[in-house]
Homo-oligomer: A and B are copies of this chain.
Amino acid sequence: MSGIADVARLAGVSKSTASRALTGGGYVSDSTRRRVADAAESLGYVPSTSAVSLATGRTRTIALIVPKVNRWYFGSIVEGVERTLIPLGYDVTLYVAEPGSDDRETLYSTYLARKRFDGIIAAALEPDDADLERLANIGKPVVSIGNPLTGVPTLGLDNVAITRNITEHLIALGHTDIAFVGSTPSTDAPAKDVDERSIGYRNTMNDHGLAVRIRSVPATLTITDAYAAAVSFLADTATRPTGVVAACDEVAIGVIIAARRMGISVPTELSVVGIDGHDYAEMFSLTTVEQFPEAQGVEATRLLLSMIEGTSQPPWRTPAETRLVVRASTAPPRPV
């Protein structure tokens, strides 16, 4: 429990000199710098973070906001952020709150207001206008992953292009009866990734004069949700599509598991394509557009740190890397 005063006393210098020696600011001769360092070492001195924060205004903490932890995409982001920040000695305070939950209000009224961080990384945050203003008012740098927030540098995918790409992939294989499994955007202004993906699919189908069919699954987009939905919408052979564009890999996998269970052969009777590059994609031979959320977490952290240091203002929108991987879940439709 020794403080900097103890270190200073042991080294035979003043508090201010000890502080300068340890933090590296201002003039200190090499010999005293070493004496102070030795004293700190031998006392096992660890600076009090609250005192440092109070004096400097910096917390060496970044806030990470995610709607959920227990999904591959968000879990990967968390791991990417952690991996980058731990070696730098930064703390990560995690805030888990789904849009619309009670915790969401607490987020803005308590957690963000408290400003116990130097910057914020927000994944899939869906703030309304009032929230966005509160976010801007706290005066700390913010980086968004996933959906673009006005005035906030965002790292994300070009979702419309991606679903266009994979829808074209199915069409090129000869499919005409293609469903999008996800959700219908509530408004024309897409607020979420899923909305953009739905729109990319819809536009492509329209361009080709093909019928748009949307199968809804709950917004959580988990494998189990998609499985349950697929068990019901695959049952009717009359309305069953030959191709499925899934909102994400977890939905795609849920559909595949349901199909297998119902004896529907993938890809012979049903082609499925996802988006994510989920850990399980290869195991299910899933054709998918890979993205790399852990790398996105790393990249978002770098962007945020550069804003905190004030060295640079990142671009308003940074595209994240993707890659189409064709596996064995897509094939031409069986001739009628």
Identify the A interface with B (CB < 8 A). 46, 48-51, 53-54, 59, 61, 64, 68-70, 72, 75-76, 78-79, 82-83, 86-87, 89, 91-97, 102-103, 106-107, 110-111, 113-116, 222-224, 227, 254, 257, 260, 279-280, 282-284
Contacts and interface: CB of A to CB of B under 8 A. Distances in A.
5 contacts: A50-B54, A69-B78, A70-B76, A70-B78, A94-B94
Taken together, the copies of this chain in the complex come to 2
Nearest to A231: B283
Contacts of A257: 283-284
Nearest to A107: B86
A96 B78 contact: yes
A292 to B, nearest CB: 13
A94 B82 contact: yes
B110 A227 contact: no
Given A70-B72, A224-B279, A93 B96 contact: no
A95 B260 CA distance: 39
Nearest to A106: B86
A290 to B, nearest CB: 15
A171 to B, nearest CB: 29
A260 to B, nearest CB: 7
Contact of A224 (B51, B68, B94, B280): B280
A47 to B, nearest CB: 8
A114 B49 contact: yes
A103 B111 CA distance: 27
A223 B92 contact: no
Most B Cβ at <10 Å: residue of A75, A76, A95: A75
A96 to B, nearest CB: 4
Given A54-B54, A93-B61, A283-B224, A79 B86 contact: no
Contacts of A78: 69-70, 94, 96
Contact of A93 (B92, B114, B282, B283): B92
Contacts of A227: 283
B224 A282 contact: yes
Nearest to A61: B93
Contacts of A111: 86, 91
A139 to B, nearest CB: 9
Contact of A283 (B92, B223, B282): B223
Nearest to A1: B139
A54 B46 contact: no
A304 B13 CA distance: 41
A75 B66 CA distance: 12
